[in-house]
Amino acid sequence: MSGTGPREWFVIYLKGVCMGAADTVPGVSGGTIALIAGIYERLIDAIAGIDPRVLEHVPYLHTSDGRASLYDDLVEMDVPFLIALGMGIVTAVVVMSGIMHEAIKGHPVLTSSFFFGLIAAAAVVLYRYVSIDSVPRAAAALVGFALAFLLTGFTSGSSGTHSPLLLFGSGAIAICAMVLPGISGAFILYMFGQYEYMSALPGQFISQLLAVVTGGDSSALVATAIPIVAFVIGAFLGLFTITHIIRYALSNYRQATLTFLVSLMLGSLRAPVITINSEVSELTPGVIGIIVAAGVIGVTLVFFLDRFTEDIEFGADQQPSRTESPMND
> Of 28-42, 93-107, 116-130, 148-162, which range is least confident?
148-162
Q: Tens digit of pLDDT for each residue in 315-324? A: 333 334 433 4
pLDDT (0 to 100) of residue 296: 95
> Mapped to the 3 state alphabet, what secondary structure does the chain carry?
CCCCCHHHHHHHHHHHHHHHHHCCCCCCCHHHHHHHCCCHHHHHHHHHCCCHHHHHHHHHCCCHHHHHHHHHHHHHCCHHHHHHHHHHHHHHHHHHHHHHHHHHHHCHHHHHHHHHHHHHHHHHHHHCCCCCCCHHHHHHHHHHHHHHHHHHHHHCCCCCCCCHHHHHHHHHHHHHHHHCCCCCHHHHHHHCCCHHHHHHHHHHHHHHHHHHHCCCCCHHHHHHHHHHHHHHHHHHHHHHCHHHHHHHHHHHCHHHHHHHHHHHHHHHCHHHHHHHHHHCCCCCHHHHHHHHHHHHHHHHHHHHHHHHHHHHHCCHHHCCCCCCCCCCC
Q: 160 pLDDT band (50/70/90 cuts)?
A: low
Q: Tens digit of pLDDT for each residue in 255-275? A: 888 888 888 888 888 888 888
Q: 178 pLDDT band (50/70/90 cuts)?
A: low
